[in-house]
Structure 1
Amino acid sequence: MTTLAYQLQRIHENHLESLDKKKKISSLLFDPAEAADQDIDSVFSIANNGFIELLNIEPKFKRFSKTLFSEESKYIDRFTQTETENDHLDSSIDAFLSILAPYFLLKPSIKVLEWLIHRFKIHKRNQNSLLLSIFPYHMHPFFVKVLSIIDIPLPTWSFLVPFKNNRISPTHYIISKSLSDNEVLLSLFMDYVQSKVKEKKDYQILLKFWATRVAETICIMRKNSESEEKIISKILPNILEGLLSHSSEYQIACYIILVTISSNYSLSEKSLITALTLISRTLNKATINAGLICLAQLAQTREGCKPLPIP
């Protein structure tokens, strides 16, 4: 698409957005009537207060003081920006959400999210990033509130539509079942967590949520007689790569998933040797206990089989 055509399309979308504003203003802080009375300066002031509070907790937010939370940001209109400018804006929003994710349940986080929704329409333009960021908090009222205003991307996140309509939280099982049914969602979730670990933006709540949900997903797949090839292609490569991670917590999460795979499916000799080798070579003070348990569990799956060759 040419730059001119892109901008014309965005202007048209801006017009539709303006019409939509007359119907309802999306907000995490205010009801629709109150939200309609908030001008850009008042929302920015609230967000700036929240941003300052977050800076006192996490210095990594400072870089966004010159972009998403600068005075100039009040004049950014993503509907008239070029495609390249919007790509840069999206990258900045994604990076900010990644850093914000561990602090979502703090009051200042709601304040800054209000700005991103009001000014940059992240509930309409950055839905995947927003949903993946809040995924670990799916049982909290905060998740339900965000879900109530977000434009759910279809068909990837279609399982959330009934929960949005009824303003209730999806259960652990529903999420795992949805991951087992939807290969696109599963790949998106696996890749997201892996990317956050590589960027050193992972955190305990995310990794615990990821490990437990993927482990349950594997059990559901096994119960539904899903083929071993699907597990091997969609999950195992990610897990084996994770065993080499700098993050000890991510490695331990990978142990949990690896044991679940081996308990439900017969790993090939090649995959088993690779897993045993990677675990044994990357054990450290933080992972040794969990790692040895994982090695023992994997070894038990070989009972009655011929000895593995020395790699």
Structure 2
Amino acid sequence: MASSIASQLQAIKSFIQTDSEPQKRPLTRPSVLYNPKEAADIDIDTILNIALTGLEVLGGVDERFRNYKGDLFSHKSKELDRELMGVDHNNRINASISSYLRLLSGHLQLPASLKTLEYLIRRYKIHVYNIEDLVLCVLPYHDTHAFVRIIQLINTGNSKWKFLDGVNMSGAPPPRSVIVQQCIRDMGVLEALCNYASATKKFQASRPVISFCTAVIIEVLGSLSTIDSDTVNRILPFVTSGLQTGTKGGCDHKAGALMIVGLLATKVALNHKLVNSLIRSVAQVAMEDAKESTGLPWFRLSLMALINLVQSQSVDTIPKKALEILRDIRDIARIFLELSKGFNIDRFLAILLESLVDQSSSDDSYHLALISIIDTVPLKNLVDNIVRKILLTCMKLSEKDRKLASSGTGTWAKKILAAIDKKNPSQFQGAVHKFLQDDKVQSKKEDEVLELCKVLDGNLDDSMSVSDSKIWFASHHPEPKIRRATFSGLNRSAILKIKSLDFQRLVNIKDAVLRQLHDDDLTVVQAALSLDGLTEILSPPDLLEALHNVIKKCLSFLIS
């Protein structure tokens, strides 16, 4: 009996002792500073003090770290237990952890960073509850042993980060190619990285994150044989963020965005709306770089990115906003001249010039910019297109409203044509000839071509007046009767008898006469020979050569 009571008392005593004893410490704890067993022997106060020393160092590098001393690293935080907190409280903690890790992503190479991570892992279990933020923070440092230690703490489960389980097994830092290949297999990884590296209202990605993201995107695009719209859409946030002027992303993000735009332009046909948006954004970047006294290399880079984009994509015209930006850049014609010496930018120039023509009829600033480029940049291969564009534009204006023909509306066009003729006379003459031989132009009624002349010559209302435009068109016209009419008009106008005749007009008449003396149609030649004052217009050598050519043609005709 006594022994039974004694055993019961002993059991009660044992129960009381067990219940009153403190809980045993775990044998191991997750840690990035210590091995699991050592970490188990270090209390939370020590871990917090270590973290605060690290935070002090980081605060000296970037004062924004000091904002977290009274938040994530406060002494009150030692008592927190996330498992016992409500949803709202946990959401606030998650937001604070996310912003801290974004800031830390730029400094993870510092030992002080790991000291602060140690506390976040111990107190907030970020390796359990904030896996995405933690992985994205450390991913740019994938080639370090610190990265391996952090990843080994994470249970990726079936998430998109499961491919990192290989790090747990090998214990070796993975090369970037592993991450690139995973981005190709799972675009969700690429999208997460691009979004993380893109600036937001609250956060600006760190330099290591931006550099890493740029490298991954370029390698992904370089590895893909075909790039679909889904891939483009996933990387667009990073590109558009880098092209936003006035952001704090710095040169690294801008350079990365420009490189990616260049690669996309050459590898995939982008939709029209996106191309126009990128053209405007890159032009804006170029303008900002042009304003900076130290931004000339960047300006050249952004301008080349713009040229490459326009030349590689199906672009018919430069968007109005981008055109306005290019128009206002100081010495833009000289810059294009320098670029044209080292690169083939003909297609870009052709599109740019035609876009300027479209705006020149209503805005003198575009007209002046166009003439500046014509006067500065060699355009021999582009004269045909630009002349045709100008003349068709004038013809459309004339067809739209006949009153425009006598309003001086075409003065801008005449000045541009004169500038082209001055710099490239032979190409200009050939361009006018091609224009008049075009089936669409030949299908027009003769009076419509005369209306075009009126548009170019401004206030010359008299259809019989002899103008430079009529001389240009008539001497190149495919119809012999129109070419003959040139000289009839000259005789009737008695313009050659005017002593104060403008020198340039006299040169134009001389060129037209010489051209007609070499005409294949002898009736046109006869009309030229019958011109009053022919010997006063042409020099003896020119006239002798022309007559020699006429005699040869006549003999050839008689023999045949």
Smaller-chain TM-score bracket = 0.7 to 0.9
Structure 1 segment 5-44 matched on structure 2, within 5 A: 22=26, 24-44=28-48
Q: Which protein is bigger by CA-based radius of gyration?
A: 2
Residue 258 in structure 1 maps to residue 261 in structure 2: yes
Q: 1:65 to 1:279 in 2, by over 3 A?
A: same
Q: What are the Cα deviations for residues 56-88 of structure 1, in whole angstroms up to 9, with x where unaligned?
A: 222111221111111111111111111111111
Structure 1 segment 261-300 matched on structure 2, within 5 A: 261-283=264-286, 284-285=288-289, 286=295, 287-300=298-311
Q: What are the Cα deviations for residues 254-297 of structure 1, in whole angstroms up to 9, with x where unaligned?
A: 11111121221122333222211211023223442321221132
Structure 1 segment 119-130 matched on structure 2, within 5 A: 119-130=123-134
Q: 1:237 to 1:69 in 2, by over 3 A?
A: closer
Structure 1 unaligned spans of 5+:
1-18
Does the Cα contact within 8 Å between 2:105 and 2:208 map onto a contact in 1? no
Does the Cα contact within 8 Å between 2:198 and 2:241 map onto a contact in 1? no
SS at the partner of 1:56?
A: helix
Please name the residue that 2:56 is paired with. 52
Please name the residue that 1:99 is paired with. 103
Letter in 2 for 1:98: R
Q: In 1, Cα distance between the equivalents of 2:65 and 2:315?
A: 55
Please name the residue that 2:214 is paired with. 211
Q: Decide which of 76, 80, 83 is 2:80's aligned counterpart.
A: 76
Q: 1:120 to 1:272 in 2, by over 3 A?
A: same
Does the Cα contact within 8 Å between 2:78 and 2:123 map onto a contact in 1? yes
Q: 1:306 to 1:160 in 2, by over 3 A?
A: closer
Q: What are the Cα deviations for residues 206-229 of structure 1, in whole angstroms up to 9, with x where unaligned?
A: 211111101111222x32x45x22
Q: Which has the higher contact order (CA 8 A, sep 6+)?
A: 1
Percent identical residues: 24
How far residue 309 of structure 1 moved from its aligned partner, in angstroms, is 5.0
Q: Decide which of 311, 317, 325 is 1:308's aligned counterpart.
A: 317
Q: In 1, Cα distance between the equivalents of 2:27 and 2:221?
A: 43
Q: In 2, Cα distance between the equivalents of 1:215 and 1:97?
A: 25
Does the Cα contact within 8 Å between 2:30 and 2:36 map onto a contact in 1? yes
SS at the partner of 2:69?
A: helix
Please name the residue that 2:154 is paired with. 150
Q: In 2, Cα distance between the equivalents of 1:132 and 1:310?
A: 37
Does the Cα contact within 8 Å between 2:59 and 2:66 map onto a contact in 1? yes
Q: Decide which of 176, 179, 197 is 1:175's aligned counterpart.
A: 179
Please name the residue that 1:201 is paired with. 204
Q: What are the Cα deviations for residues 130-167 of structure 1, in whole angstroms up to 9, with x where unaligned?
A: 11011111111111111111222533111111122211
RMSD over aligned Cα, in angstroms? Answer: 2.2
Please name the residue that 2:462 is paired with. none
Structure 2 unaligned spans of 5+:
1-22, 290-294, 321-560
Does the Cα contact within 8 Å between 1:273 and 1:308 map onto a contact in 2? no
Does the Cα contact within 8 Å between 1:128 and 1:153 map onto a contact in 2? no
Q: 1:63 to 1:306 in 2, by over 3 A?
A: closer
Q: 1:54 to 1:86 in 2, by over 3 A?
A: same
Does the Cα contact within 8 Å between 1:25 and 1:36 map onto a contact in 2? yes
Q: In 1, Cα distance between the equivalents of 2:206 and 2:234?
A: 23
- The count of residues paired between Structure 1 and Structure 2 equals 286
Q: What are the Cα deviations for residues 177-211 of structure 1, in whole angstroms up to 9, with x where unaligned?
A: 1112112222211211114x543432222211111
Q: In 2, Cα distance between the equivalents of 1:206 and 1:106?
A: 15
Letter in 2 for 1:183: M
Residue 112 in structure 1 maps to residue 108 in structure 2: no
Q: In 1, Cα distance between the equivalents of 2:130 and 2:242?
A: 27
Q: 1:177 to 1:236 in 2, by over 3 A?
A: same
How far residue 306 of structure 1 moved from its aligned partner, in angstroms, is 6.7
Letter in 2 for 1:307: D
Q: What are the Cα deviations for residues 67-117 of structure 1, in whole angstroms up to 9, with x where unaligned?
A: 111111111111111111111111111111111111111111111110001
Please name the residue that 1:186 is paired with. 190
Q: TM-score, normalised by structure 1?
A: 0.85
Does the Cα contact within 8 Å between 2:28 and 2:38 map onto a contact in 1? no
Letter in 2 for 1:102: G
Please name the residue that 2:236 is paired with. 236
Q: In 2, Cα distance between the equivalents of 1:77 and 1:178?
A: 35
How far residue 241 of structure 1 moved from its aligned partner, in angstroms, is 5.0
Does the Cα contact within 8 Å between 1:127 and 1:153 map onto a contact in 2? no
How far residue 125 of structure 1 moved from its aligned partner, in angstroms, is 0.8
SS at the partner of 1:103?
A: coil
Q: In 1, Cα distance between the equivalents of 2:71 and 2:130?
A: 17
Does the Cα contact within 8 Å between 2:138 and 2:147 map onto a contact in 1? yes
Please name the residue that 2:141 is paired with. 137
SS at the partner of 1:162?
A: helix
Q: 1:59 to 1:236 in 2, by over 3 A?
A: closer
Q: In 2, Cα distance between the equivalents of 1:77 and 1:141?
A: 30
Q: TM-score, normalised by structure 2?
A: 0.48
SS at the partner of 1:154?
A: coil
